[in-house]
Structure 1
Amino acid sequence: MPALTVSGMSCQHCVSAVTKALESIEGISDVSVDLLSGKVEWKEATPVPQDVIESAITGIGFEVKK
């Protein structure tokens, strides 16, 4: 499963926002967000470019840790 770490999340609303942002990308499903660690995982039906995923996350106000 692809994964990355997101910073700036502080509540379940943040988790929901990140989940919805990623699920809105065609080909992404089964998004899992761990609030404490910031780890975000998902399944891809077809490969999704990393910049598309990062843009969806930063576009709602969160930061992707490198």
Structure 2
Amino acid sequence: MSSTNTWTVTGMTCGHCVASVTEEVSEIAGVESVDVDLATGAVTVTSTTPLEDDAVRAAVEEAGYQLA
């Protein structure tokens, strides 16, 4: 059963930002898909199991951005 959660990421301004966040979050174990809405900063992640906020925060920070 898949789990879908949405986080808000601040600091993204362009397509490269979206690609960076998508790439880093996609590397979290169990992630099936990542959908980033640049206009709102919403990052919706579908995964095989619920993700820990800390894992998502670490991936977003690795990409150079922050969770709101």
* 3-state DSSP of counterpart to 1:37: coil
Which of these residues, 25, 48, 56, is aligned with residue 53 of structure 1?
Answer: 56
Map of 1:22 onto structure 2: 25
Q: Deviations over 1:4-59 (max 9, x none)?
A: 10011010010001001111111012100000100000111012211011111012
- Structure 1 unpaired stretches of 5+: none
C-alpha distance in 2 between matches for 1:29 and 1:3: 14
C-alpha distance in 2 between matches for 1:32 and 1:63: 16
Percentage identity across paired residues of the two chains: 35
TM-score for both structures, normalised by structure 1 = 0.91
TM-score for both structures, normalised by structure 2 = 0.89
Structure 1 stretches of at least 4 aligned residues deviating more than 4 Å after TM superposition = none
- Structure 2 unpaired stretches of 5+: none
Are 1:41 and 2:48 counterparts?
Answer: no
* 3-state DSSP of counterpart to 2:9: strand
RMSD: 0.8
